[in-house]
Amino acid sequence: QVQLVESGGGVVQPGRSLRLSCAASGFTFSSYGMHWARQAPGKGLEWVAVIWYDGSNKYYADSVRGRFTVSRDNSKNTLYLQMDSLRVEDTAAYYCARGVWIADYWGQGTLVTVSS
């Protein structure tokens, strides 16, 4: 069965960095584009970044462009989100999701708290 397991969240001070990982299993990871999405406490969903199946294309939300970098290692079936220059407003649950135009499977999420 398809499984997506995020890790790497935690509490970090503003301006610092954090790297999230998403370990995929149960499907051919290298055949699927992948998303990162986030949800601030009590707020709605926001797409953060998407990466094509082969890493050839990457797109970002305006709110994170230039600070966040999405990448993948198809040999390790793992998706990454490098988050630099973190801001208080980046505080959210971060989810990885399978697919580009259709996010059909989601991980359980990892919580990122940016606070001084």
Partner 1 sequence: QSALTQPPSASGSPGQSVTISCTGTSSDVGGYNYVSWYQQHPGKVPKLIIYEVNKRPSGVPDRFSGSKSGNTASLTVSGLQAEDEADYYCSSSAGSNNLGVFGGGTKLTVL
Residues that bind partner 1 (CB under 8 A): 37, 44-47, 49-50, 57, 59-62, 95, 97, 101-104, 106-109
Tokens of 104: 């059909």
Q: How far is the CB of 73 from partner 1 (least distance, A)?
A: 22
Q: How far is the CB of 100 from partner 1 (least distance, A)?
A: 8
Residue placing its CB nearer to partner 1 in the complex, 61 or 77: 61
Residue placing its CB nearer to partner 1 in the complex, 37 or 92: 37
Backbone angles phi, psi at 3, to 5 degrees: -135, 135
Residue placing its CB nearer to partner 1 in the complex, 27 or 106: 106
Q: What angle do CA 66, 69, 71 make, to 5 degrees?
A: 155
Residue placing its CB nearer to partner 1 in the complex, 12 or 22: 22
Q: How far is the CB of 26 from partner 1 (least distance, A)?
A: 15
Q: How far is the CB of 52 from partner 1 (least distance, A)?
A: 10
Reduced to 3 states (helix: H, G, I; strand: E, B; else coil), residue 53 is: coil
CA distance linking residue 91 with residue 40, whole number of Å: 6
CB 36 within 8 Å of CB 99: no
Q: Where on the phi/psi map is residue 62: left (φ > 0), alpha (ψ -120 to 50), or beta?
A: alpha
